[in-house]
Chains A and B, each alone.
Chain A
């Protein structure tokens, strides 16, 4: 464990050095991210200029859910961004070879290799929106809820990671799975709003199949109302562990299906 930490630190440090060399990359990333966020927030403003409430939630409460949902997303983005590359080209080009010939876990190695600073944007936006909306959102604040707030975030982030691992691993069979990651990952948009506004079918999907609702709406439901911590928080933890387990099993199977590329 200590060793893993040390290797992680070293790889990240190298990554930051590299980043300094590609400043332009960083800037374009930041700009496109800001535009994306601005559109998302403007969307909420527009909805609420038409109606006073959405599925029983006030404007501030919706902003809080939106802000919260950015935190797990940002954390996962910060730490595991290289999984996209696994799906898009590392496997297809046979560049995955080198991870298999080094004495550390290949998944850890490939994840540790990038540290995506762009994600700071999501974290900052998320925190700002939560601070802005918290005073008037009517939060349910008890010692327990504060502890659960801190505790649930890493598990929500794990849901993102698990989904990315599983979809990236599909590349071991079909060579390139970037579009699959893209498609499934895109479902996270649903996490930002109450599931009650969706049809039952979509609700079912974002709760149990691609459980992004646990990265935003459900935990927030508890923080806003204090209702049903067993489902809203407990299930978040439970589902993230189950999904991580499944995705690791898929990944592991994928390794033995990996075909490299001719050379």
Chain B
């Protein structure tokens, strides 16, 4: 359905020294720096899948979405959706997709909301009956009735977001691209929007690609996540796998008197563990042992550690999904330093 292959997007940035002097210098001798906002991203999405596309701020998510929706032309690499190339087959292609950028509206600022939908009806050539049916459906899930006669500029953020989402679903797109559709919304409106996404996905097998910084969006909506950072793939798999791969890791933190025997090798040997199952960090005799609780029950680990050394302030932490994601983001940041 969607196939993204080694996608890359560079932006040219003019480097300016601060102040007027810098501005003048940049005018006569411009210095450019090329930054790769997206640096070789690949992934596939099947029909009917809901993909959570996540990554820290500035990772390149919006830039990827803009290439997938035909707004930006890739520097290199390719993306095909339903066999179409977004920038080449633009007119035909965009008819099959719906797009929402949570940060900005696509609606006509000065028109009452209803009028916006009638204009879109013409643009997307939706038939009268189908349009009515669709409006009723969207009205029902997104509760547009209260503000459908107000001009778009008077809508609150939550109302506007629902209006934008409805606009993106009006023409029954095959693929829906949602860039931060729940940003800044209260819990009720979030629920509303999630319900609309789930419903349209279940009833029409709409493929959804969604970026968000809200972990519950991912837990509630997404079959699979693709995580990127600094424009590169970091993780691709189901949420369950992510939990399985990283979720069993536990962290044992304590302060020890003597450091001599607390090495990864001695733990591996003593407990018959493999290298992947354990890692040890020592920061001025404060130890952090990360280990896989599947291979080594927490109790056994505690006993063994206590047999080696005397400890102060011992604590065991398990990793929830947010913790896992934080760790992955952090690993990405450390790696790039």
Contacts and interface: CB of A to CB of B under 8 A. Distances in A.
B209 to A, nearest CB: 14
Given A105-B91, A263-B101, A263-B103, A256 B115 contact: no
A97 B66 contact: yes
A152 B118 CA distance: 37
B122 A102 contact: no
A18 B115 CA distance: 11
B94 A103 contact: yes
Contacts, number: 66
Interface stretch (A5-13, A127-135, A136-144): A5-13
A98 interface: yes
Interface stretch (B70-78, B200-208, B227-235): B70-78
A260 interface: yes
Contact of B124 (A103, A105, A255, A258): A103
Interface string B77-93: 00000000001001110
A101 B104 contact: no
Interface residues of B, number: 31
Contacts of A104: 91, 123
Given A105-B91, A256-B87, A7 B122 contact: yes
Interface of A is mostly: helix
Contact of B104 (A14, A95, A103, A256): A95
Contacts of B101: 97, 263
Contacts of A259: 11, 72
B125 interface: yes
B64 interface: no
A103 B95 contact: yes
B111 A18 contact: yes
A263 B179 contact: yes
Contacts of A263: 62, 101, 103-104, 179
A262 interface: yes
B71 A100 contact: yes
B110 interface: yes
B222 interface: no
A36 interface: no
B106 interface: yes
Contact of A101 (B11, B97, B103): B97
A23 interface: no
A226 interface: no
B99 A101 contact: yes
B71 A14 contact: no
Interface string A1-28: 0010011001100100110010000000
A18 B71 contact: no
Given A101-B69, A103-B124, A14 B94 contact: no
Contacts of A260: 66, 71-72
Given A17-B115, A95-B104, A260-B66, 6 more contacts: A3-B125, A10-B119, A94-B104, A100-B94, A260-B72, A263-B104
Interface of A: 3, 6-7, 10-11, 14, 17-18, 21, 94-95, 97-98, 100-105, 255-260, 262-263
Q: Which 7 A-B pairs have the closest CB atoms?
A: A256-B73, A103-B95, A98-B106, A263-B103, A18-B110, A101-B99, A100-B71
Interface of B: 11, 62, 66, 69-73, 87, 90-92, 94-95, 97, 99, 101, 103-104, 106, 108, 110-111, 115, 118-119, 122-125, 179
